[in-house]
Amino acid sequence: MAFKLTINGETREVEVEGDTPLLWVLRDSLGLVGTKFGCGAAQCGACTVHLDGTPVRACMTPVRRVGDKAVVTIEGVGKDPVGARVQEAWKAIDVPQCGYCQAGQIMSATALLTANPKPDDAAIDAAMNGNLCRCATYIRIKAAIRAASGQGV
Ligand code: FES
Ligand code: FES
């Protein structure tokens, strides 16, 4: 089946089964490999992208459910001023260790700061709870979110 998707501000067409997870459409059909496969079961957050600004797990989102919602991935999030600030803070604080989880972390952090520009620690914990990091970079992730929000690290 053909699907027309809006991805990072561009219209892209793909020919896939409707139950194909968005993650595989992004990675395999469109070559947008910044979004990672971790658990495949909505448990780790590595595959997080935005649908109309809301963070979703691309591994559990069938492409037929995307409809005309705007998809933003790690490749496009820097076009958004909040996403750009988050990426700058990530670099300044040197957050990643192996890096595998970090695209998903940045997508969740950007959605958080768009909805809540000055989150307190509890709000950060709640928003980032579903993004696991096997390298345990959690302290630097929180510091980067605070920096990107203009709050003291
Ligand atoms: S790969 Fe989607 S949540 Fe883990
Ligand atoms: S930086 Fe390695 S899993 Fe998060």
Closest among 40, 119, 30, 112 to 71, alpha carbons compared: 30
Tokens standing for residue 86: 């988050």
Q: Tell which CATH architecture fits domain 78-149.
A: Orthogonal Bundle (1.10)
What pTM was estimated for this model as a whole?
Answer: 0.97
Q: What is the mean predicted confidence (pLDDT) over 101-119?
A: 98
Ligand found nearest the CA of 131: 1
Q: What sign for the dihedral angle of Cα 70, 86, 88, 84?
A: positive
Q: Do 78-149 and 2-72 have the same topology in CATH? A: no
* CATH top class, domain 2-72: alpha beta
Query: Which atom from ligand 1 is nearest to the alpha carbon of 57?
Result: 2
- pLDDT tens digits, residue range 122-135? 999 999 999 999 99
- pLDDT tens digits, residue range 26-40? 999 999 999 999 999
- pLDDT tens digits, residue range 62-79? 999 999 999 999 999 999
Question: How far apart are the two ends of the chain, measured CA to CA in Å?
Answer: 48
Cα–Cα distance, 38 to 131 (Å, whole number) = 11
What mean pLDDT, rounded, does the chain reach? Answer: 97
Residue to probe by mutation, ligand 1, list 26, 49, 59, most atoms within 8 Å of CB = 59
Tokens standing for residue 2: 């053909």
Q: Report whether residue 97 contacts ligand 2, using a CB cutoff of 6 Å.
A: yes
Closest among 35, 9, 11 to 22, alpha carbons compared: 35
Query: Which atom from ligand 2 is nearest to the alpha carbon of 98?
Result: 2
Cβ-based neighbour number of residue 28 at 10 Å:
13
pLDDT of 43: 97
Cα–Cα distance, 37 to 58 (Å, whole number) = 9
**Quick one: pLDDT band at residue 152, thresholds 50, 70, 90?**
confident
Q: Report whether residue 138 contacts ligand 2, using a CB cutoff of 6 Å.
A: no
How many Å lie between the centroid of ligand 2 and the Cα of residue 84? Answer: 20
pLDDT of 134: 98
Q: Report whether residue 38 contacts ligand 1, using a CB cutoff of 6 Å.
A: yes
Give the domain ranges of the chain. 2-72, 78-149
Q: What is the mean predicted confidence (pLDDT) over 103-113?
A: 98
